[in-house]
Amino acid sequence: MRKRAIRLLMIVPYFPPDRGPIPTMYGGLASDLAQAYKEVLVITGQPNYASGVKRSSKLYQIERTGKEKIVRVFVPKLNRENVCSRLAAILTYNLLGAAYVLFAADSDVALMTNPALEVWLIALIVRLKGIPFHYRVHDLYPEIAVRLGFLRRKSLLARAIERIERFCLKSAGTVSVVTASFQAFLGAKGIDQGKLTVVPDWVDTVQLCNLPKKNMFSRRHNLAEKFVIGYGGNIGRSQGLDVLVEAASLLSDQREIVFLIVGEGAKKLELMSLCHSRKLENVIFMPYQPDEILREVYATWDVGFVSLIPGLSPEWRTAKIFSIMASSRPVLAATDLGGEVHKAIEKTACGICIQSGNATNLAHTIREMFANRDQLAALGANGRQAVERNYSRKLCTQRLESLVACLVTSPHL
């Protein structure tokens, strides 16, 4: 990246040491942009998904790493199962983040992520200060909440969320979306197609790479000789992991097949209880693992699993598939056929996609993959080649850097 005398403001509620695809991606993005810009100021919250990390009680905790200045604003400890807890965290982050931007931030351009509900007040201050900003769309709001049944489409709250999302979309100089389906959806909603650009989510192809299955992690957890179906990330309602547990139950007679679920989320305790009630010994739950051993975790998997409940978001392409592909492991996806995940898997020939919601079909597919496990390496190799060509951190962050930098020279885009 060419160096520019630009001071960038990043508004991202979740940032390392928080675990998960979003914090990991934006931690990498901030590091890359710090190499290109004069300064990168990150406004984020206290970590909620990092075990062993002490949270500060200060309103603002400031850290510096080279040209990165990370401001962690105080937010209450998040309980994703409790609506009041989530609203309290959102409100606190908005208020404290907006105050810092208003009185202490001296930036030329900004980048922020949706949902707008989490950043709308900060976005308002950014606009009032005349700072042009890029808006990054990772999901469709309030559409996703309506499809999940959390909101009625014409409810007051749904209309309010849609209004503030539109405010951010309309106010942004440029907008990037993760799939062409998102671009079409927002275009149909009246958002100027001229400001919409598809920049997919990405993966660090240096951090995640092809390693032998037999490694320290697999040996430590007695998985080196097992056929492991691995899932990593949020364990929430939208993932529909009940079906994976049902499939595990149907495959309990296959002693060689083990299911490893790594992550946290609102449904984790419920799924653990379900496994306990059924006395399933072939399902293992683990918390998020440290970044330094992630490549060993993925290498332990024989198949990487991703899923979404039926009809939830066929326009979305979960970033989890890129981590699996980067690790040269085949993808098994239970999502909507014809959706973006299905299209990506077909295009890259990196795995198998089946219709979500059918445990019997999922169990049958896993049996078939186990029976033909000598053919899985080719699928994994295809996936690795695809992420190197299209979804690497270097490639995608360069594209975002260009979208942000053009706002400084043409702020009225």
Specify whether the backbone of 20 is left (phi greater than 0), alpha (psi in -120 to 50) or beta: left
What is the model's pLDDT at position 86? Answer: 82
- Please state which CATH number belongs to domain 4-202+393-409: 3.40.50.2000
Q: What is the mean pLDDT of residues 227-248?
A: 95
- The rounded distance, in Å, linking the Cα atoms of 105 and 100 is 7
Beta carbons of 303 and 366 less than 8 angstroms apart: yes
Beta carbons of 315 and 141 less than 8 angstroms apart: no
What is the model's pLDDT at position 411? Answer: 52
Q: What is the mean pLDDT of residues 145-174?
A: 93
Class of domain 216-390: alpha beta
Is residue 104 scored above 80 in pLDDT? Answer: yes
For the chain, what is the mean pLDDT?
92
- The rounded distance, in Å, linking the Cα atoms of 150 and 237 is 11
Q: What is the mean pLDDT of residues 162-187?
A: 96
DSSP letter, residue 130? T
Q: What is the mean pLDDT of residues 206-228?
A: 96
- The rounded distance, in Å, linking the Cα atoms of 16 and 26 is 8
What is the model's pLDDT at position 410? Answer: 65
State the pLDDT confidence band at 141, using cuts at 50, 70 and 90.
very high
DSSP, residue by residue, 233-280: S--STTTTTHHHHHHHHHTTT-TTEEEEEE---TTHHHHHHHHHHTT-
Share of the chain above pLDDT 90, in %: 80
- 61 to each of 42, 70, 74, 200, 210, how far by Cα in Å? 12, 8, 8, 31, 37
Lowest-pLDDT range, 242-246, 264-268, 323-327?
264-268
Beta carbons of 102 and 78 less than 8 angstroms apart: no
pTM given for the model:
0.90
- Give the residue from 350, 339, 406, 402 showing the smallest Cα distance to 379: 350
- The rounded distance, in Å, linking the Cα atoms of 66 and 370 is 48
Residues 6+ apart with CB under 8 A from 245: 259, 271, 274, 275, 278, 280, 283
What is the model's pLDDT at position 3? Answer: 58
Q: What is the mean pLDDT of residues 346-371?
A: 97
Which part of the chain has CATH 3.40.50.2000?
4-202+393-409, 216-390
Residue pLDDT, tens place only, 39-55: 999 999 988 766 667 77
Upper half-sphere CA count for residue 165 (Cβ side, 13 Å): 21
State the pLDDT confidence band at 56, using cuts at 50, 70 and 90.
confident
Q: What is the mean pLDDT of residues 216-220?
A: 97
- The rounded distance, in Å, linking the Cα atoms of 109 and 130 is 9
Residue of 67 and 51 predicted with greater confidence = 67
Look at the chain and count its residues: 413
